[in-house]
Amino acid sequence: MGTCRGGLAVRRGGAFTREIHDITNAQFRSKFEPDIGRMRGPIGVGVISDNESQPLLIGSHLGQYAIVTVGVISNNEQLAAKAFGRRTTHFSEMSEGGINPTELIATLINEEATFEEGIQHAQDVIEGSCSLLLLTDAGLYAARDRWGRTPLIVGTKDDSTAVASESTAFPNLDYEILKDLGPGEIVLATADGVETRKPANKQMQMCSFLWIYYGYPSSTYEG
C-alpha cells in the first residue's frame, strides 16, 4: 500500500535475492523488468510503500529472513529509545532520514525465541497497526495487525499459495480466495499448505478510511 518505493525478494536454495527501486515517477513493472530474469525462486515477497525501503533482509538468532510491513507505528521513537537503552541494538536503514519502521519491527521480533512469539510481541508493544510478511527457511509467515485495520487475504491455486492486501490481485492469476486473516492472526504457508500458528483475536476495529477511500474498488474485504 503505497506509491513511492517498490521491492521484491525471492529465496532459492537458502539464498536471497532482493531489489528495491524508486517508483515515484514510473510503474512498478517497468522498474523491475531488468531484474526479473535473475529473481528466480519457489518463494518470494513483494511490496510497495509510501516511504521506507522494503523488503529488508535480516540475520538473527531466528535465522535469515526477509520482512515487509504495512501500517503506522505512533510510538516508534519510544520503542527505538528502549532498544538503544540496552546498548546491543543499532539501526542501519536510515536512508530516509529516520529509523525504518520495518527494521524496528524486525528488532522487536528478534527479541523472542520464535517467529510466532516475536510477531505477537511486536503487535503487543506497538501503538498503531502493522501487518507483515516474513520470508523464512520454514516458509512464508503472514500476520495481520491485531485490530484488523489493514487486510491480508490468502489465495490458492493448484499447489501454490499467495497472500495479498487486496483480493483483486487474485482473479487475473486464477487464484481462489482461501480466507481473510482475522485481527492478530498468524499463518504459515509452506509447500504442504497453510497452517494457523495463532488464531484471530475476537475484537476488530476496521479502518473506515480503507473502506471508503484508498481500498481498491473491485476488492472485497472480510469475505
pLDDT at 142 over 90: yes
Q: Give the Cα separation of 58 and 76 in Å (integer).
A: 19
- Is cis: bond before 199, omega within 30 of 0? no
Classify residue 197: in a domain, yes or no: yes
Classify residue 188: in a domain, yes or no: yes
Classify residue 198: in a domain, yes or no: yes
> What's residue 44's pLDDT?
96
pLDDT in tens, 46-55: 999 888 889 9
Set of cell numbers at residue 15: 539464498
pLDDT at 143 over 90: yes
Measuring CA to CA, which residue among 209, 103, 210, 101 is closest to residue 152?
Answer: 210
Measuring CA to CA, which residue among 127, 222, 214 is closest to residue 182?
Answer: 222
Instruction: Quote the domain boundaries for residue 74.
Output: 54-214
**Whole-prediction pTM:** 0.91
Classify residue 174: in a domain, yes or no: yes
Set of cell numbers at residue 37: 530474469
Domain count, the chain: 1
Classify residue 164: in a domain, yes or no: yes
User: What CATH number does the domain containing 179 carry?
Assistant: 3.60.20.10
pLDDT in tens, 68-101: 999 899 998 898 888 777 766 766 665 566 788 9
pLDDT at 150 over 60: yes
pLDDT in tens, 55-68: 999 999 999 999 99
Average pLDDT value for the chain: 89
* Neighbouring residues of 151: CB distance < 8 A, sequence distance ≥ 6: 131, 144, 165, 166, 180, 181, 210, 221, 222
Classify residue 112: in a domain, yes or no: yes
Classify residue 20: in a domain, yes or no: no
> What's residue 92's pLDDT?
67
Classify residue 15: in a domain, yes or no: no
Section 163-171 average pLDDT:
93
Q: Which of 24-28, 37-41, 90-94 shows the lowest mean pLDDT across its residues? A: 90-94
